[in-house]
C-alpha cells in the first residue's frame, strides 16, 4: 500500500493542470480524494444508523457476516491479481475455486480442518498449473483457456464426489460428509473480550458499540466485528493479503512478476524468464483461489456442489474495481461482503431501509463536496440520486424484497464507480508471450 | 387415506421382497426366477380387508412391459439424496413392479434442456416426466410440438391436454412441521429460511407460519430468503444458509425450518454451533433428512417435511400403464399421503398424536392451509 503512489506514475497525481493552485491542487490528489470519500462514507453510515434507529446497519454482527462473506471473494480477487500482474487474464477463477472446494471437502473429511486448507490450495494449484500449461506453454487464448477451466472443474468435482462420497454416511454425489473437527476461532483479547489463559478479558470495542455514540459506536462495531470469533482460515486470509502486498511490490521476485505482465520484452532482455513468471503467477493464483474454496468448505463444514455460486467472478470484479492492487481488492470484497451480508441478517428489509438513508446522506455530502470542488455536473447527479434514495427510504415502510436484495449491490456499484474511476490493468496482460519475441 | 397407506405397504413389502430375493440370488449363486410372485400375494392377503377395491387390485395387476418412460432429472440428477433421488425411487419402483422400461436424462445446465427432452421424444418414450419446475419451458414447447406423446411435470402447472401437472400441497406438510416447531419451541420464536423467493417456496413459509400459529397464536416467526429469482443459487449455497440461520438462533429462535435445498445443510450446521442437542433444532425438507446427514448433525434434525415425489412419479406411470394417461393438475396432499412429516430420531414421538390430529383435520378439509402469508 505504501508504494501506491510511486509505482504507476502515469495515473497518479498531475491530472490537475496548470490552473490549479494551493489547496485545490492538494484536494485533487487521489489519496486526498480517497480520504474524503472514506470520511463521507463513515459519517453517512453513522448518521443513517442514528436517524433510522437501526443499529444492525453497523453492528459487530453485521461486520462479522461481511468479513466471512468477503474472505472467499477477496481470495479470488487476490488470485486474479497474481495471474494478471504476471500477464495472464484469469477468468478461470471460478473453476479453480470449485477445484479448491472438492479437495478441501475431501481432505477436511479425511484429515481435519487444516488439511482442508492444504487440500483447497492443492486443488486450485492443479487447476492453475493446467491453465498455465495451456496459456503459457502452448499460447492458448487466455479467455478460452479460463473458460475451459470453468467448464472442466464442475465435471471433475462431480466425478470425484461420486468416487469419494457416494455411499458414505452423510455424503452423496453432491456433498461430502462433514469435516472431521472444526476450524478454531480467534477473538482478540482486551479489545473484544477474548479469553487469555482462561480469563475473560474486557470487551472494549463491544462496550463502545453498545453506547450508541455517533461515529464511535460504528467504528467500535466495525472493530469488534473484525476481531471477534474470526475463524483461523480467515485470519490466514488477512495475513496473506499483507504478505502479498509486500511480495509483489517490495521484493525482486515481485518486480519480475510484474515485469512479465507490463513489459515482457523488457523483462526478457534483462534475463527474466517470462514463461517461468507466468507459470508462477498462475500457480499462486490457482492456490489462492483454491484456498478461497477451502474457506467456503470450512464455513459450511462440507463440500457442497455449486457452493462457489459465482464468487470467482465476483472476485474478478473486485480485482478490476480494486485496480489490480491488494488493498483495492480487499476494499472491493469488503463492500460486496457487506452488501451480501446485510441481506443475510434477521429482518434484512429494515437494515436495507437504513442503508438507503445512509446512501442518500452520503450522496448529499458528496454533492456538497463537489460544489466545493466546482464539479457542478457531478454535484447535480449526486444530488438527484440522493433525493431519489431519500424518497425511497421515506416511502418504503417495508421495502419489497426484490428491492431489498438489489439495493446493496446498487449502493456498492455507486460507491465503486465513484471511488474507482481511473483504472489501469497491467499493460500486456492477456497477450501470449513466446520466448525471443520482440 | 387408509387405502393409500395399505397400497404403499404392499408396494414397499413387494420391493423389499425383490431386494431380498436379489440379495439371496447373489449369495447362493442360484437363479431366483419369480420371488415377488410368491411374496406379494401373501402380503395382499394380509392387507386385504373390506377397503380393498377393484381399483386397487387393477393397480397391482398393471403390466407395463410395453411402456417406456423417460425421466428428466433436475440439475444434480441421481444421487442428490433428496428431490432427484425421490423421483428416481418412483421410477425404480415402476421398473421393478410394473416392468416398464425407464430412460433417464440429466441436464448439465439450463442450456441443454430442450435437446435432452427431444432426445427422449426421439427415443420413442410414451411418457416423459420432468422433475422440477425448471423444466416448465422445455416441456411446454415439447408437448405442443408432440401432441401424441404424454408428459408430466413436477412442481409446475402446464395447461395442455397431454401434460399431467404433478403438484404438491407443500403448505400442508409445512403446516405440520410448523405445528411441531411451535409445540417444541421453548423460546416462542421459530425461523423459516427459503432458498429462493418464488411462489413455490412462499407456500412453504405460509404453511409453516399457519401451523405454528395454530398451536401458539403469539409465536414469533422470523422468515428470510437467500436469493431472489432468477438467481437460483439460493438452493445450493450452504454458506448463506448458515449465516441466516445463525442470525435467527442469535435472535432467539430455537427451531429453524429451511426449504432451501442444499443450503439447508448450512442451517443444520448453524444449529450445531448454536447450542446443545435438545436446545436448538432444525427442520429438514423434501426427504427425511435425518437419514441423509451424518451423525454429527442427526441430533439436531427435529423432523422433516416430506414431499413424496416418488409416489407422484410411480402413480403417474402406473396410471399410464393401466387405466391410461390423463392430463390435468394432480395435487398430492395430506389426504393422499403426498406430503407429510418424518419421525426419524424419535424427537417428536411425544407430539405425534397432536400432529396426526392436525393432519386429519387438514385431510378432511376442516383446516384449510393458506398458500400465502
Give pTM, 2 decimals: 0.82
Asked if the structure places residue A208 within a domain, the reply is no
Q: Which residues of B touch A61 (CB under 8 A)?
A: 247, 250
Same-domain status, A370 and A274: no
> Does the beta-carbon distance from B239 to A175 stay under 8 Å?
no
Q: Indicate whether A176 and A85 sit together in one domain.
A: yes
Determine whether the interchain pair B296/A162 forms a contact, defined as Cβ–Cβ distance below 8 Å: no
Same domain, A80 and A155: yes
Q: Is A174 helix (H, G, I), strand (E, B) or coil?
A: coil
Shared domain check, A304 and A237 = yes
In a domain, A196, yes or no: no
Question: Comparing C-alpha atoms, which of A300, A310, A282 is closest to residue A104?
Answer: A300
Number of structural domains (chain A) is 2
In a domain, A332, yes or no: no
CA-closest candidate to residue A240, choices A63, A412, A107, A117: A117
Tell me the C-alpha to C-alpha distance, in Å, between residue A44 and each of A28, A66, A340, A403: 22, 18, 19, 21
3-state secondary structure of B284: strand
Is A113 domain-assigned? yes
Contact A61 B250 (CB under 8 A): yes
| pLDDT per residue as tens, chain B (373 positions) | 445 555 555 444 444 444 433 333 333 333 333 333 333 333 333 443 444 444 444 445 678 888 999 999 987 777 777 788 889 999 999 999 999 999 998 887 777 899 999 999 999 999 999 999 889 999 999 999 999 999 999 999 999 999 999 999 999 999 999 999 999 999 999 999 999 999 999 999 999 999 999 999 999 999 999 988 888 888 888 999 999 999 999 999 999 999 998 899 999 999 999 999 999 999 999 888 898 888 889 999 999 999 999 999 999 999 999 889 999 999 999 998 899 999 999 999 999 999 999 999 999 999 999 999 8
d(Cα B67, Cα B113) in Å, to the nearest integer? 23
- The three-state secondary structure class of B15 is helix
Q: Would you call A177 and B294 a contact, using CB atoms and an 8 Å cutoff?
A: yes
DSSP annotation of A189 reads T
d(CA A75, CA A330) in angstroms, rounded, equals 9
> What is the Cα–Cα distance from A435 to A413, expressed in whole angstroms?
41
Kindly tell me the sign of the dihedral angle through the C-alpha atoms of B89, B92, B97, B98: positive
β-strands A185-186, B220-227: how paired? Answer: unpaired
Query: Per the domain annotation, does A310 fall within a domain?
Result: yes
User: Same domain for A179 and A48?
Assistant: no
pLDDT of A270 reads 92
Grid cell, residue A296, equals: 467456503
**Closest to A433 (Cα-Cα) out of A276, A252, A255:** A276
- Residues A78 and A131 occupy one common structural domain: yes
Residue B65, all three cell numbers: 412391459
Is residue A305 included in any domain, yes or no? yes
Q: What is the ipTM of this complex?
A: 0.82
Interface residue A407 vs chain B (CB under 8 A): no
**Residue B168, beta-bridge partner list:** B332
| A255 and A168 fall within a common domain | yes
Residues A99 and A238 both lie in one domain: yes
Burial B318-356 (b: 16+ CB within 10 A, else e): bbbbbeebebeebebbbbbbbbbbbbbbebbeebeeebe
Range of the domain at A311: 59-187+229-324
Q: Which residue of A has its CA nearest to B227?
A: A405
- Distance between CA atoms of residues B209 and B171, nearest Å: 9
Query: What residues form DSSP beta bridges with B301?
Result: B282
Q: How far is CA A398 from CA A9, A16, A115, A401, B248, in A?
A: 49, 45, 45, 9, 19
Q: Which residues of B touch A172 (CB under 8 A)?
A: 79-81, 292
A348 touches B: beta carbon within 8 Å: yes
Cβ–Cβ contact A428 with B under 8 A: no
CB distance A304–B265 less than 8 Å? yes
Q: Examine the domain organization and report whether A68 and A137 are in the same domain.
A: yes
Could you tell me the three cell numbers for A388? Answer: 431519489
Residue A66 located in a structural domain: yes
Are the C-beta atoms of residues B143 and B120 closer than 8 Å to each other?
Answer: no
**For residues A57 and A144, what is the distance between their CA atoms, to the nearest angstrom?**
42
**Cβ–Cβ below 8 Å for B225 and A299:** no
C-beta atoms of B236 and A307 within 8 A: yes
Interface residue of A68, A100, A173 to substitute, partner B, most B CBs within 10 Å: A173
Q: Which three cell numbers stand for residue A45?
A: 453510515
Q: Are residues A45 and A63 in the same domain?
A: no
State the nearest Cα–Cα gap between B239 and chain A, in angstroms.
5
φ, ψ for residue A114 (rounded to 5)?
-70, -30
Task: Say yes or no: A257 and A123 in one domain.
Answer: yes
Same domain, A112 and A127: yes
Cα distance between residue B268 and residue B248, in whole Å: 12
Which among A296, A301, A350 is the top mutation candidate for probing chain B, defined by the most B β-carbons within 10 Å of its own β-carbon? A301
Domain B170-307+340-363: CATH superfamily is Response regulator (3.40.50.2300)
Give the domain ranges of chain B: 1-58, 170-307+340-363
| Residue A103 forms part of a structural domain | yes
Amino acid at each position: 500500500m505504501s508504494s501506491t503512489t510511486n509505482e504507476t506514475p502515469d495515473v497518479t497525481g498531475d491530472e490537475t493542470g496548470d490552473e490549479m493552485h494551493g489547496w485545490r491542487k492538494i484536494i485533487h490528489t487521489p489519496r486526498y480524494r480517497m480520504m474524503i470519500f472514506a470520511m463521507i462514507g463513515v459519517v453517512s453510515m453513522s448518521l443513517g444508523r442514528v436517524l433510522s434507529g437501526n443499529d444492525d446497519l453497523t453492528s459487530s454482527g453485521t461486520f462479522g457476516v461481511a468479513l466471512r462473506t468477503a474472505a472467499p471473494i477477496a481470495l479470488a480477487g487476490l488470485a486474479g491479481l497474481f495471474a494478471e500482474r504476471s500477464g495472464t487474464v484469469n477468468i478461470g477463477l471460478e473453476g479453480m475455486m470449485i477445484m479448491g472446494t472438492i479437495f478441501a471437502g475431501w481432505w477436511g473429511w479425511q484429515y481435519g480442518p487444516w488439511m482442508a486448507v492444504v487440500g483447497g490450495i492443492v486443488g486450485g494449484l492443479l487447476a492453475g498449473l493446467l491453465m498455465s500449461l495451456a496459456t503459457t506453454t502452448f499460447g492458448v487464448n487466455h479467455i478460452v483457456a479460463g473458460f475451459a477451466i470453468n467448464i472442466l472443474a464442475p465435471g471433475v468435482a462431480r466425478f470425484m464426489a461420486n468416487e469419494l462420497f457416494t455411499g458414505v454416511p452423510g455424503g452423496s454425489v453432491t456433498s461430502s460428509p462433514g469435516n472431521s473437527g472444526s476450524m478454531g476461532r480467534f477473538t482478540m483479547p482486551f479489545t473484544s473480550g477474548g479469553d487469555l489463559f482462561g480469563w475473560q478479558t474486557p470487551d472494549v470495542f463491544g462496550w463502545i458499540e453498545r453506547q450508541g455514540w455517533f461515529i464511535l459506536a460504528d467504528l467500535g462495531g466495525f472493530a469488534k466485528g473484525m476481531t471477534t470469533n474470526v475463524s483461523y482460515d480467515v485470519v490466514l486470509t488477512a495475513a496473506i493479503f499483507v504478505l502479498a502486498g509486500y511480495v509483489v511490490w517490495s521484493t525482486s521476485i515481485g518486480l519480475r512478476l510484474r515485469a512479465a505482465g507490463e513489459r515482457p520484452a523488457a523483462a526478457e532482455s534483462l534475463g527474466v524468464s517470462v514463461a517461468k513468471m507466468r507459470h508462477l503467477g498462475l500457480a499462486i493464483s490457482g492456490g489462492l483461489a483454491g484456498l478461497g474454496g477451502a474457506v467456503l468448505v470450512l464455513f459450511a463444514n462440507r463440500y457442497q456442489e455449486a457452493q462457489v455460486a459465482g464468487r470467482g467472478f465476483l472476485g474478478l470484479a473486485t480485482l478490476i474495481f480494486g485496480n489490480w492492487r491488494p488493498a483495492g481488492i480487499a476494499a472491493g470484497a469488503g463492500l460486496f461482503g457487506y452488501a451480501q451480508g446485510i441481506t443475510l441478517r434477521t429482518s434484512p428489509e429494515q437494515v436495507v431501509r437504513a442503508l438507503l438513508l445512509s446512501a442518500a446522506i452520503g450522496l448529499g455530502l458528496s454533492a456538497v463536496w463537489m460544489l466545493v470542488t466546482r464539479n457542478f455536473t457531478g454535484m447535480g447527479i449526486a444530488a438527484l440520486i440522493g433525493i431519489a434514495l431519500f424518497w425511497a427510504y421515506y416511502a418504503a415502510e417495508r421495502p419489497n424484497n426484490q428491492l431489498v436484495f438489489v439495493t446493496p449491490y446498487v449502493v456498492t456499484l455507486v460507491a465503486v464507480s465513484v471511488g474507482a474511476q481511473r483504472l489501469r490493468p497491467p499493460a500486456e496482460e492477456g497477450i501470449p508471450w513466446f520466448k525471443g519475441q520482440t | 387415506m387408509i387405502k393409500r397407506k395399505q397400497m404403499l405397504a404392499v408396494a414397499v413389502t413387494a420391493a423389499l421382497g425383490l431386494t431380498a430375493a436379489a440379495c439371496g440370488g447373489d449369495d447362493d449363486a442360484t437363479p431366483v426366477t419369480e420371488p415377488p410372485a410368491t411374496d406379494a400375494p401373501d402380503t395382499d392377503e394380509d392387507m386385504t380387508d373390506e377397503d380393498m377395491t377393484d381399483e386397487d387390485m387393477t393397480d397391482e395387476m398393471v403390466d407395463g412391459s410395453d411402456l417406456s418412460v423417460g425421466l428428466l432429472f433436475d440439475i444434480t440428477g441421481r444421487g442428490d439424496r433428496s428431490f432427484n433421488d425421490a423421483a428416481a425411487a418412483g421410477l425404480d419402483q415402476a421398473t421393478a413392479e410394473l416392468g416398464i422400461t425407464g430412460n433417464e436424462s440429466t441436464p448439465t445446465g439450463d442450456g441443454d434442456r430442450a435437446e435432452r427432452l427431444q432426445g427422449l421424444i426421439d427415443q420413442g418414450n410414451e411418457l416423459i416426466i420432468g422433475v422440477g419446475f425448471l423444466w416448465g419451458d422445455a416441456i411446454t414447447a415439447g408437448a405442443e410440438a408432440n401432441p401424441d406423446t404424454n408428459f408430466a411435470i413436477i412442481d409446475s402447472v402446464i395447461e395442455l391436454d397431454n401434460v399431467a401437472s404433478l403438484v404438491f400441497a407443500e403448505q400442508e406438510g409445512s403446516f405440520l412441521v410448523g405445528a411441531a416447531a411451535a409445540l417444541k419451541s421453548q423460546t416462542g420464536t421459530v425461523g423459516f429460511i427459503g432458498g429462493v423467493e418464488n411462489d413455490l417456496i412462499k407456500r412453504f413459509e405460509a404453511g409453516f407460519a399457519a401451523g405454528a400459529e395454530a398451536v401458539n397464536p403469539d409465536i414469533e416467526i422470523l422468515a428470510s430468503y437467500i436469493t431472489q429469482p432468477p438467481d437460483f443459487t439460493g438452493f445450493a449455497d450452504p454458506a448463506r444458509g448458515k449465516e441466516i440461520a445463525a442470525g435467527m438462533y442469535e435472535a432467539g429462535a430455537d427451531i429453524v425450518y429451511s426449504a432451501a435445498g442444499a443450503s439447508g445443510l448450512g442451517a443444520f450446521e448453524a444449529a450445531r454451533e448454536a447450542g446443545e442437542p435438545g436446545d436448538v433444532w432444525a427442520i429438514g425438507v423434501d426427504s427425511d433428512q435425518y437419514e441423509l446427514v451424518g451423525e454429527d448433525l442427526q441430533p439436531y434434525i427435529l423432523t422433516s417435511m416430506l414431499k413424496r415425489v416418488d409416489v407422484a412419479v410411480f402413480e403417474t406411470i402406473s396410471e399410464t400403464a393401466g387405466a391410461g394417461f390423463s392430463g390435468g393438475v394432480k395435487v398430492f396432499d395430506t389426504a393422499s399421503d403426498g406430503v407429510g412429516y418424518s419421525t426419524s430420531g424419535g424427537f417428536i414421538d411425544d407430539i405425534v398424536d397432536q400432529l396426526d390430529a392436525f393432519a386429519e383435520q387438514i385431510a378432511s378439509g376442516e383446516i384449510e392451509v393458506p398458500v400465502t402469508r
